Amino acid sequence: MPVVPESILAPIRQEFLALLPEREDRHPLGCHRPRIPDAVVFDRLVLVLVSGMGYERVADAACSATTLRRRRDEWITAGVVDWLVLAVLAAYDKMVGLELEHLSADGCITKAPSGGACAGRSPVDRGKQGLKRSQLADGYGIPVVTVPAGANIRDHTLLPETLDEFTALTERLDHAPDNPALSLDAGYDYNPVRVDLAGRGITGKIAQRGVQTPIQADGRWVVERTNSWMNNFGKLRRCTERRRVCVEFYLHLATIVITVRSLIRRAWYTHRWPTRPRTPRIR
């Protein structure tokens, strides 16, 4: 049984392979070993994402760990996953509609035992190496922007970079919301945050420090659910990648899986297609 249902994995794999650039065989004699199909490597990388296992444990006689790392780096250099994220979000926006007028953001700390460019001393794990995700979600919980950083970086200092990427994304999607509202917890209750939001034309709904506010207030629970969806992937719960580009590769891949799953679930009631699942409850 695949780690991701075939109804979700098949369209992602098909679109991913279609975005791959054509590869030229530059070997002078053409006598090298046959290239392992990209579909096989892609499925193994999805297994790495979901299970969190190392490349050596996923590898076997059909595909080695070196091949997984080399092909991953090739796809990162080509920017294939970046284009795939844009295509998936655009498809979701076209069929269902991204609720970009109601946003929520929060930070989530996970483990990063191998350290690296996106790791720092975790304040909630006895100073061990940790990774923080600055997560921005739409009104339904679709992970629109995810920015990795060290666990010792404060949430409010990551917000400008997160919003800059959101602005760039809306320009590429051609869907710029008018006067969006952004729900934030007390970790963002600082004057520089309010000034930055006002300059961007965003209405901030920020919980006050020292005042207990239920998580249901102002729609902040949505991003908490998004963090829970992201933490379902073993590679994100315990990230062993040291380079930032590799961390972003798996963050984008997780975003793609979550978005396609939500798209199928919500479109199940309004659309019909040949491979439509028999039930909207996709597991």
HSE-up (13 A, CA, CB side) for residue 195: 3
Copy the structure tokens of residue 94: 């076209």
H helices of the chain, in order, are 6-19, 38-51, 55-58, 65-78, 80-95, 155-173, 191-200, 221-231, 234-237, 244-267
Q: Which of 186, 183, 223 has the alpha carbon at shortest distance from 204?
A: 183
Copy the structure tokens of residue 137: 């979600």
CA 60 to chain centre: 27
**Phi, psi angle pair for 229, to nearest 5°:** -60, -45
pTM of the model: 0.94
Q: For the chain, give the longest Cα–Cα distance.
A: 72
Question: Mind listing the domains of the chain with CATH numbers?
Answer: 98-241 (3.30.420.10)
Cβ atoms of residues 151 and 108 within 8 Å: no
**pLDDT tens digits for the chain (283 residues)?**
468 899 899 999 999 999 999 887 777 766 667 889 999 999 999 999 999 999 999 998 889 999 999 999 999 999 999 999 999 999 999 999 999 999 999 999 999 999 999 999 999 999 999 999 999 999 999 999 999 999 999 999 999 999 999 999 999 999 989 889 999 999 999 999 999 999 999 999 998 888 887 777 778 899 999 999 999 999 999 999 999 999 999 999 999 999 999 999 998 998 888 888 888 887 6
